[in-house]
C-alpha cells in the first residue's frame, strides 16, 4: 500500500512535469497568435466596467412580465441569439459575452431602477433593451448620468438623439413618408383617414403623416381619431369611416386594441377588396394575435419582413427558429434588436476598447455598416440612427407578408424640419 | 353631408344604431357575472376579468384541439367551447371561493386585495401556460364577415352573435335568480344570512355556487369576446374597469339596474364617439357617470334595504 501510494504521487509529479514541457511551445504559440485578439483588460477597459481577461458582461432589459411582454419577448430572444452567435465566433476582443437579464415588468419606473442596477452595480459594458417610448424616456436620464450605452430596437417617433443611445429601429420619417408616397402613387390615394391609439407615438406619427399628406402629396385628411389604449370597441369609428369614404385608412393602433380593430373591420365587411388600409403598427408578432384572415390584403410599412428573400435573412430565420422553436415569428422590432449586439461588436473592435466614450466616438463616425443584416444592409449614421430601407408588405392569410415595395436607403432624420 | 344619398345616410344610421346595441350587449355580458358576485354577494372580485380570460383561453384551447384532431368539427366547435368555458371558469371560481373568498366574507374590503392578488397569479399563469403573446382562436366561417340586408348596410355577424348570446344568458340568469328555488335561497342569503341559516338553507353552499355561477358567466363572456377582440395574459384588465363601472352605476344588487346602466353607458359612448373623437367620448361619458353618481351614490336602481 505504502509503495503504491508513493508511486502514485511520483506519477502525478512526473505527469505535471511532462505537461509543463508540453505546454511550453503551446504557450509561446498562444501568446504570439492571440495577442492581437485579446488585448489586456487594463487596455480595453479604463472605466471599471465588468470585464475580465476572457469575459465581458452586458445587460438585457426588456419586459418579461406585464402588458408589454407580448411585444418584448421577440426582441430579447433576438438579442440572445446575436450574442450566442458572436460568442460562437470567439466573442469580442477575445472575450465571451456574458448576459445579465433584468425584467422591466412593463413598468417605467422599474425600467429606470433596473437600468441603474445594471450600470452602477453590475457595471455592464452595454445594455440592449427598452421597447416603448415611455420606457426609453424613463431610462434615458440614467444612461446619461452614468454614461452607459443603450441599444434601443423599436421604431419610434423620433425627436430624440442621445449620446448614450444607439437607435436600431427606424425613426418616424423613415417609416411614414415612403409609405405615404407609395400609397399615393400606387393606389392614387387622395383622401386619408388617420386612426391611432392615444399616446405619444401614434400622435407624433400622425402629425408627420398629416403634414406630408397635406403639403407634399396634396391630399386631404378627412378624419383623425385616437382611441384610448386597450379600448376594444370600434363600431362607431368604423361607421364614421364609412361616412367619410377615405381612399386610405392609415392606422397606428397598438396592443389589444389592434386585434379588436382588425377583427371588427372584417366583421363590418370592410376588407381589402373594398378598402385600402396601410398600417404602421402591425408586424408578424401582432398578426399572431390578430389572425391572418382578418388582415388579408391590407398593407404594413416596416423596414423588415420575415418573408424577405435574401441569404442573410434565410440564415437568420433558420437560426432563430433553431434556437427559439419552429413556431416563432420574427417581426420588425425583433430584427432591429438582433442588429444591436452586432453593431456594438463592430464599434468595440474598431475602437479597440469597451470604454463607452470610445465606442460612441467610433459609432459617431457614421461609417459602421452591417452587410450581414437580415433586412439587407444597414449603416449607422452619425446621428445614432440607422440608414435603412422602407418596405411595404401585403399580408397574406398565413400571417406572412409579401413585400410589394422597397425604397432606396433612407437617411435617418430624427428632427425633420417642417414636421415638428 | 351634401354628397350623400338619403339611402346611404339611412344605412349609416342603421349601422350606428346597431353599433350602440352591440356595445350594450358586450357591456351587459361583461357585467352580468360581476352583478351576481358583487351585487348579490358583496364580494369585490378584482379577478373577474381574469375569469373572462379563462373563458377566452379555453376557447383558444378548444380551437387548437379541434383544428388538430377533428378538423371536420370546426364549424360547430365554438358553441361547444362556450359551454366548456362556462364550466372551466365555474369550477375555477368554485375552487377560488373554497380556498380564498369564503375566509373573507366578514372582511369585504380585504377581498379587494385578495382577489387582486389572485388576478396577478392568474395573469402570470396564463403567461406561463400560453406564452406572453396574444392568441386568437380560429373562428368558424359563419362568425366572420357581415350580414347585408341591403346593398349599403353591413351588420357584423359576430356582433349579432354576442347580442343573441347576451339575451340568452340574461334570461337564464333572471330565471335562476327570480324563478328557481335556488335563486330564492341566494336572495334570502343576501338579505339575511343568519335567518336563512336558521330556516335550513346551507348558506355556505349557496355562496360557493353563486360565486361559481358568476365566474362561469364571466367565462362565457370571455369566450364570446374572442370574436371581437384579443386574448392575452392581461386581457382581463381591459374589461375590469368597464365591468365595475356598469355594475356600480346600475346600483349593486339590482339586475335591472345593470341592464339599464349598460344600455345608457353604451348609447352615450357610441353616439358621442360618432360625433367627437374616441378618447374624448370616453372622457365625457365618465364625467357624466361621476356627476350622476354624486347625486345618486347608490347607483341608478338602489336596492331598498334597511341599513
Closest among A346, A348, A392, A418 to A45, alpha carbons compared: A348
Cβ within 8 Å of residue B136, ≥6 positions away: A259, A263, A288, A289, A290, A291, B60, B226, B230, B231
| Residue A11 in this model has a pLDDT that exceeds 60 | no
Nine cell digits for residue A153: 430596437
Cβ-contact B248, B228 below 8 angstroms = no
Q: Which of A77, A195, A229, A268 to mutate to probe the B interface, most B CBs <10 Å?
A: A268
Give the pLDDT confidence of B205-226 residue by residue, as tens digits.
999 999 999 999 999 999 998 8
Residues 127-146 of B with CB under 8 A from A: 127, 131-136, 138-139, 144-146
**Which chain B residues are Cβ-neighbours of A191 within 8 angstroms?**
none
Q: How far is CA A124 from CA A61, A143, A149, in A?
A: 12, 12, 9
Find the farthest-apart pair of alpha carbons in chain B and give their distance in angstroms, rounded.
72
Grade residue B190 by pLDDT with cuts at 50, 70 and 90: confident
* Segment holding A167, helix H or strand E: strand A165-167
Give the pLDDT confidence of B70-125 residue by residue, as tens digits.
888 888 899 999 999 999 999 999 999 999 998 988 887 888 899 999 999 999 89
> So where are chain A's domains?
55-170+309-384, 173-302+394-410
Beta-carbon pairs below 8 A across chains A and B = 141
Closest among B258, B218, B177 to B94, alpha carbons compared: B218
**Which chain A residues are Cβ-neighbours of B278 within 8 angstroms?**
198, 225-228, 231, 236-237
Average pLDDT over residues A224-242: 88
| Residue A19 in this model has a pLDDT that exceeds 60 | no
Q: Residue A8: its pLDDT value, please?
A: 45
Percent of chain A residues past pLDDT 70, beyond the cut: 91
| Residue A186 in this model has a pLDDT that exceeds 80 | yes
Count the helix, strand and coil residues of chain A and give each as a percent rounded to the nearest 5: 45, 20, 35
CA distance B177 to B259: 15
Report residue A420 CA to chain centroid gap: 25
Q: What is the mean pLDDT of chain B?
A: 88
Nine cell digits for residue B236: 382581463
* Segment holding A227, helix H or strand E: strand A220-227
**Taking CB atoms and an 8 Å limit, are B234 and A243 in contact across chains?**
no
Residue A305, SS3? coil
Place of cell 351576481: B36
- Between the two ends of chain B, the Cα-to-Cα distance in Å is 56
**Taking CB atoms and an 8 Å limit, are B144 and A285 in contact across chains?**
no
Nine cell digits for residue B66: 379541434
Give the pLDDT confidence of A108-121 residue by residue, as tens digits.
999 999 999 999 99
Residues 12-41 of B with CB under 8 A from A: 12, 15-16, 18-20, 22-23, 26
Look up the pTM and report it.
0.82
Instruction: Nearest by CB to A228, from B133, B274, B278: name it.
Output: B278
**Taking CB atoms and an 8 Å limit, are B274 and A65 in contact across chains?**
no
The fourth-level CATH superfamily of domain A55-170+309-384 is Response regulator (3.40.50.2300)
Closest residue, chain A, to B281 (C-alpha): A227
Q: Residue A28: its pLDDT value, please?
A: 42
Average pLDDT over residues A289-309: 92
The answer to whether the A55-170+309-384 and A173-302+394-410 domains have the same CATH topology is yes
* CATH code reported for the domain at A173-302+394-410: 3.40.50.2300
Amino acid at each position: 500500500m505504502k509503495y503504491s501510494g508513493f508511486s502514485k504521487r511520483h506519477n502525478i509529479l512526473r505527469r505535471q512535469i511532462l505537461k509543463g514541457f508540453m505546454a511550453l511551445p503551446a504557450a509561446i504559440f498562444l501568446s504570439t497568435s492571440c495577442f492581437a485578439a485579446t488585448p489586456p483588460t487594463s487596455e480595453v477597459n479604463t472605466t471599471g466596467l465588468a470585464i475580465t481577461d476572457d469575459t465581458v458582461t452586458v445587460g438585457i432589459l426588456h419586459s418579461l412580465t406585464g402588458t408589454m411582454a407580448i411585444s418584448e419577448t421577440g426582441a430579447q430572444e433576438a438579442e440572445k441569439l446575436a450574442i450566442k452567435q458572436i460568442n460562437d465566433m470567439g466573442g469580442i476582443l477575445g472575450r465571451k459575452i456574458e448576459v445579465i437579464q433584468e425584467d422591466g415588468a412593463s413598468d417605467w419606473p422599474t425600467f429606470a431602477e433596473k437600468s441603474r442596477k445594471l450600470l452602477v452595480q453590475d457595471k455592464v459594458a452595454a445594455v440592449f433593451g427598452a421597447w416603448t417610448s415611455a420606457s426609453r424616456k424613463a431610462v434615458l436620464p440614467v444612461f446619461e448620468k452614468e454614461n452607459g450605452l443603450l441599444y434601443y430596437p423599436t421604431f419610434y417617433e423620433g425627436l430624440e438623439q442621445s449620446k448614450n443611445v444607439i437607435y436600431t429601429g427606424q425613426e418616424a420619417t423613415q417609416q411614414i413618408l415612403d409609405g405615404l408616397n407609395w400609397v399615393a402613387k400606387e393606389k392614387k390615394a387622395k383622401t386619408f383617414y388617420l386612426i391611432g391609439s392615444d399616446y405619444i407615438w401614434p400622435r407624433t406619427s400622425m402629425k408627420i403623416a398629416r403634414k406630408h399628406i397635406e403639403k407634399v402629396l396634396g391630399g386631404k385628411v378627412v378624419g383623425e381619431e385616437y382611441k384610448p389604449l386597450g379600448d376594444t370597441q370600434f363600431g362607431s369609428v368604423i361607421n364614421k369611416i364609412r361616412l367619410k369614404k377615405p381612399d386610405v385608412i392609415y392606422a397606428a393602433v397598438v396592443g389589444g386594441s389592434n386585434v379588436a380593430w382588425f377583427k371588427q373591420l372584417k366583421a363590418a365587411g370592410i376588407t381589402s377588396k373594398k378598402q385600402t388600409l396601410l398600417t404602421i403598427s402591425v408586424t408578424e408578432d401582432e398578426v399572431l394575435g390578430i389572425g391572418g384572415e382578418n388582415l388579408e390584403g391590407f398593407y404594413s410599412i416596416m423596414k423588415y419582413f420575415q418573408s424577405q428573400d435574401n441569404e442573410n435573412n434565410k440564415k437568420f430565420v433558420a437560426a432563430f427558429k433553431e434556437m427559439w422553436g419552429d413556431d416563432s415569428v420574427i417581426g420588425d422590432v425583433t430584427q432591429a434588436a438582433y442588429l444591436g449586439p452586432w453593431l456594438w461588436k463592430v464599434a468595440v473592435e474598431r475602437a479597440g476598447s469597451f470604454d463607452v466614450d470610445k465606442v460612441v466616438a467610433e459609432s459617431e463616425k457614421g461609417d459602421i455598416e452591417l452587410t450581414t443584416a437580415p433586412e439587407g444592409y444597414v449603416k449607422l449614421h452619425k446621428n445614432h440612427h440607422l440608414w435603412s430601407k422602407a418596405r411595404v408588405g401585403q399580408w397574406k392569410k398565413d400571417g406572412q407578408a409579401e413585400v410589394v415595395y422597397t425604397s432606396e436607403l433612407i437617411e435617418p432624420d430624427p428632427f425633420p424640419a417642417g414636421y415638428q | 353631408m351634401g354628397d350623400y344619398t338619403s339611402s346611404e345616410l339611412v344605412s349609416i344610421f342603421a349601422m350606428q344604431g346597431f353599433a350602440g346595441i352591440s356595445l350594450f350587449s358586450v357591456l351587459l355580458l361583461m357585467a352580468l357575472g360581476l352583478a351576481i358576485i358583487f351585487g348579490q354577494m358583496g364580494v369585490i372580485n378584482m379577478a373577474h376579468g381574469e375569469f373572462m380570460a379563462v373563458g377566452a383561453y379555453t376557447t383558444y384551447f378548444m380551437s387548437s384541439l379541434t383544428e388538430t384532431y377533428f378538423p371536420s368539427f370546426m364549424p360547430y366547435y365554438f358553441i361547444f367551447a362556450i359551454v366548456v368555458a362556462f364550466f372551466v371558469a365555474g369550477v375555477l371560481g368554485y375552487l377560488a371561493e373554497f380556498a380564498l373568498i369564503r375566509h373573507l366574507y366578514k372582511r369585504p374590503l380585504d377581498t379587494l386585495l385578495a382577489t387582486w392578488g389572485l388576478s396577478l397569479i392568474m395573469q402570470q399563469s396564463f403567461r406561463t401556460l400560453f406564452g406572453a403573446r396574444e392568441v386568437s382562436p380560429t373562428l368558424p366561417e359563419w362568425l366572420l364577415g357581415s350580414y347585408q340586408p341591403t346593398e349599403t348596410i353591413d351588420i357584423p355577424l359576430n356582433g349579432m352573435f354576442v347580442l343573441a348570446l347576451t339575451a340568452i344568458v340574461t334570461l337564464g340568469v333572471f330565471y335562476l335568480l327570480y324563478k328557481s328555488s335556488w335563486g330564492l335561497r341566494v336572495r334570502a342569503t343576501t338579505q339575511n344570512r343568519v335567518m336563512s341559516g336558521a330556516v335550513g338553507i346551507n348558506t355556505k353552499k349557496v355562496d360557493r355556487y353563486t360565486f361559481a355561477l358568476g365566474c362561469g358567466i364571466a367565462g362565457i363572456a370571455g369566450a364570446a369576446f374572442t370574436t371581437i377582440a384579443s386574448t392575452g395574459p392581461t386581457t382581463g384588465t381591459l374589461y375590469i374597469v368597464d365591468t365595475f363601472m356598469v355594475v356600480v352605476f346600475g346600483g349593486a344588487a339590482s339586475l335591472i339596474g345593470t341592464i339599464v346602466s349598460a344600455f345608457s353607458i353604451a348609447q352615450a359612448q357610441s353616439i358621442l364617439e360618432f360625433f367627437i373623437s374616441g378618447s374624448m367620448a370616453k372622457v365625457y361619458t365618465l364625467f357624466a357617470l361621476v356627476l350622476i353618481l354624486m347625486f345618486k351614490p347608490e347607483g341608478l336602481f338602489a336596492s331598498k334595504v334597511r341599513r
